[in-house]
Amino acid sequence: MYEVEIKVRADHDRVRARLSELDAVPEGTVRQVDTYYDHPVRKFAETDEALRVRRESAAKRDETRITYKGPLVEAESKTRTELETAVDDGDTVADILVKLGFEAAATVEKTRERFRCDGYTITLDTVSGLGEFLEVETEAEVIEPAREGAIELLERLGLDAGDQIRRSYLGLLIEADS
Amino acid sequence: MYEVEIKVRADHDRVRARLSELDAVPEGTVRQVDTYYDHPVRKFAETDEALRVRRESAAKRDETRITYKGPLVEAESKTRTELETAVDDGDTVADILVKLGFEAAATVEKTRERFRCDGYTITLDTVSGLGEFLEVETEAEVIEPAREGAIELLERLGLDAGDQIRRSYLGLLIEADS
């Protein structure tokens, strides 16, 4: 299963009107604080991998998940293999990673407002230090039709897949810093 | 908080009678399958650390936990710092570890029957390939009094702390193999 996603900059106020016209179903807002880890003998930025601990707070629950993201398998749509599971205690997982030699390398904080539309998840992201974005995302066994559907959905939202930002928020933050 | 434990070989049938006399409270039986991981650039056997994924099945629940054990801080009682948290999906955690470069190095399978007595946990372990053991264990901020209590409890069970086995089941299995 692949995660197919396209991300663009987007003025959220303008997009909201379109979402309403498309009968997109609101799925709530969450706050995410992501810590990315690096390892002294394998720099994930160089191997194009990522190891992340995500703490997510929503209205009714808090949750921590650990995620490994593999290298790109399809560059156009930023498609990667993703392994993720929830963990009971985020602080303990963070401590274990440090004991194993990993180092907390960067933190990304954002608010995500999700909608569901035509089998896709549309997310309005407000990222600390970066601004407003919109992401169209789905999971698929076959990449190309999923990607074409995402491009079409962006058009219906008044956005252009040609403006796709391929860098992660982490990458954009590192770029903004330098 | 330290984990203070003393482990000896013990004939379970003989110990059960003593446990009954001491009014030890049965806490149920679980089956544990432990996978220990190693890393190409940091051999945990050499650094005296351990990284373990434990799948535990009991009558009413299945659970997976990930555990880091640090080097010995007190050799007599095998005292170590231990970091542990439950995870949702054991297979995913195992897959993530392999992606990060860890290798499944050994597996230990055992049945554990637990009793509670005077603030200590007494565990009757039946370990595949090794036989029957008894472990007296508690958590403590200060090591020495906890260790003295464990020695005394062993005596009341007709066992001798002088027979303490300091090697882990993993270590004993590796020893038996070689």
In the block, tokens 């079409």 appear at A152
Amino acid at B126: T
The minimum CA-CA distance between B81 and chain A, rounded to whole Å, is 11
Q: Cα separation of A10 and A125, whole Å?
A: 9
Residue whose structure tokens are 């030890």: B24
Tokens of B65: 């936990």
d(CA B166, CA A97) in angstroms, rounded, equals 27
Find the length of chain B: 178
Residues of B in contact with A84 (CB under 8 A): 92
Please report, as a single letter, which amino acid is at residue A164.
Answer: Q
Contact B127, B109 (CB under 8 A): yes
Q: How far is CA A7 from CA A63, A77, A123, in A?
A: 24, 9, 9
pLDDT of residue B78: 59
The nearest alpha carbon in chain A to B64 belongs to: A87
Q: Which helix (H) or strand (E) holds B14?
A: helix B12-21
Task: Say yes or no to pLDDT of A147 above 60.
Answer: yes
The distance of A60 to chain B (nearest Cα, Å) reads 19
Query: Tens digits of per-residue pLDDT, A1-43?
Result: 788 899 999 999 999 999 999 999 999 999 999 999 998 777 8
Mean pLDDT of B64-87: 85
Q: What is the pLDDT of residues B147-159, one digit of tens each?
A: 999 999 999 999 9
Among A129, A135, A138, CA closest to A164: A135
A130 versus B47: the higher-pLDDT residue is: A130
> Would you place residue B61 in the very low, low, confident or very high pLDDT band (cuts 50, 70, 90)?
confident
Reply yes or no on whether B36 is catalytic. Answer: yes
As for the ipTM of the complex, it is 0.72
Considering only the beta carbons, identify the residue of B42, B49, B92 that sits closest to A85.
B92
Q: Flag the least confident range among A58-67, A74-83, B19-28.
A: A74-83
pLDDT score of B160 more than 70? yes
